[in-house]
Structure 1
Amino acid sequence: MPSLTFVLPHWLYWSGLIVFPLLAMYMARRPAAAEARRGYSLPLGYMILVTGGIIGLHRFYLKSLLGLVYLPIFLAILFANAQQRDARADYSDAANLVKVAEDTLAREKPRLEQAESGLAELRANVDATEEGSLSRRSAERKLERAEKGIATSRDRIARSEEDLAKAAPVAQSASDRRTLWNSTAFYAFMLILALLLFDAIRLPALKRKAEEKVAREAESEVEMAIELFEEEEVKDDIRHVSTGWTGAIDRLSLYTGEFVSYWAVIAVFVYYYEVIARYVFNSPTNWAHEGMFLMFGMQYLISGAYAMLCESHVRVDVLYAPMSRRRKALVDILTSVFFFIFAGVLLATGWIFAFQATAVHEISFTEWAIAYWPFKWAIVIGGVLLILQGISKLTQDFRVLFSNAQEA
């Protein structure tokens, strides 16, 4: 299988985080009825073919069960790559033993020959010296060391020859298996590419066929879907937006929360690419995981004001829920001091972190080497949005408190 060497450019990462949510927000605001009449989208079909065609998602999008043809081929690629990884691990272990054994033999055999050739001379030196003399004891020690060295070399050579005899066939077998499964994965991938090319040419015809099938369905189903969509629209988060000048802050929190929510869709595509790169092409990336957890960190920070607007933060509802509206407002006013302490500390700390990271142009320690300072400015943005939303909430609580007091 060919390997993938693509590394996401920094400019594409940041532009994707900005442009994609804007397009998604625009698409989400198109009328539901127009969408129902519009039918299938050919550009969307091609996008699905490019991003998910390897498992036949474009066929499923166009309601064609022939997409199931892709699944066994894709599973065959995954299985072949798994077998290839196992064979590569076996080959690596066996090849290492073979190399160690060959190096030992190359080192010990000349050493043994040299030691054996000098053994006769050492014995002659022992015989030539006088019994019990210092010269004889010295010659005997030299002979003893030489004999021990010869025995050690012979033992190492024997063990190395045994290891070589065992490991060499294993290495050859693992190499053959790796070649076999690599070829299997490659040809299966080529088959998927051929099917994708065929479907890319036929996609307009598949779109027309799918639309004809939908047209034959009962119109009541389409009307029911539109009614359900409209009912969901009534439950939209816009109901949390207040009137007056606080409504501007609420809308800012609403739109920033909606904006960063679409980053989760980006993560789907990125992790899909990572899975395909890792398990199909054996080319894991070092930027996909880092880029996504940094993105989710910014999403968590920036969406805090949206969560506060929609009352999604955790409360002790056992005590809070039964209260009247005026008592809830009073409790919120009294506890807001803790909120503003938290938000203020978040803002101040974030400002210090962001300023320091910008001053030294802090970057990540991975090979991707993306700048960290934009992510740390997200702490500041999140803190500002939280404080603004807190001011809006506090103002609305005072409105409720005073309005109920005047009514009373």
Structure 2
Amino acid sequence: MTPQRIPVPTEHIYDTQARLRDIGPVVPIELSGGVGVWAVTTHAAAHEVLANDKVYARNARNYPALHDGSIPADWPFRPFIEADHMATADGLDHRRLRTMVNKAFTPSRVTALAPRIEEITAALIDDLTAAGDGVDLVPAFGEALPIKVICELFGIPEEDRAPLRAWTQSVINAGDQSVEAQLAMLGYLARFAERRRADLQDDLTSMLIKVQQDGEVTLSDDELAGMLFLFVIAGHETTMHLLDNAIVALSLHPDQRDLAIRDGLWEQVVEETLRRYPSVPMAVFRFTTQDTTLAGVELPAGAPLLLSLSGTDSAQHGADADRFDITRTHRAHLAFGHGPHFCVGAPLARLEGRIGLSALYQRFPKLRMAVDPSEVMYTSFTTSGPASLPVHLY
């Protein structure tokens, strides 16, 4: 089978995934630098991989090509693979780190954030009103809300948020500057953690440091910086796209926008956006720990896999899986993953989505795109959402 080169500049990643699924459930692809990997295209096969971290591991030590000189040191996907944090750990290491994080992201702590998220949202909407028609909602709302929430949650000063956003973009775009941006961001977060260690406060960074100091869970300084790296990036990048993708979908379906406003169906809007337009269309790498067979395809040990998380597989979501429909009876989607690495921040993302969209459309019930949908440019296939979203507010 001839490897398919991705990403394709003229093709949206959701369309790429559908095309690959038509070829087969497990398809050879080629990424930048001529690096060959396998795309897992169906819901069932991706679900199987996510559920079994013994055969399909996250840690890059299971990827020999990364260490034997086959892959160049500046390969732009290295930051997704080599970072030292919970998402790249397996087995006991993962459970150790997950236990610590679960103490921070308790249901009660997330629920308690609602009033502050409402305050931040209200202030941003006041700014939108002042900005007037034609405002770009990506920087003014979709990006601004989650980065403010996650940085407040971890105690990161406001003046440091712009460089954090810039580093995140470089890492996520997997371009020439991604490795350099990763190192710069990890360096900043290590220094920030050191400053916070001398001045503990009521934030999640201080909580992680206290857990580290108490010896309740073993956590190295590098792991602490890696944990902050993971949560700062995942805590705003994905929620930003959730908000922006929902706004695009509701602009394209004004009948559903009006239904959501009338009946308060914001939970349904969030879930349907996650299913149809997931912020992370392809899960970062998994590596086979042994020779195995997946969906009838034989894979050798050390094979790298990328998993399709788009909820358009008709075998899972029905013949109308491509249609955005907030009245859909939902079947389980993979937007937040599955199994041991299910996204610990999912409740927070859902909460921000419901609060943000509800407040936005309560103030601007006729909000719609100010450009033709075909003119909207989207970010890279690693995460997916509008790069710019000018709108009519009234």
What TM-score bracket applies, with the shorter chain setting the length?
Answer: under 0.3
Tell me the TM-score normalised to structure 1 length. Answer: 0.19
* Larger fraction in strand: 2
Looking at both structures, which has the greater relative contact order when contacts are Cα pairs under 8 Å and sequence separation is at least 6? Answer: 2
* Larger fraction in helix: 1
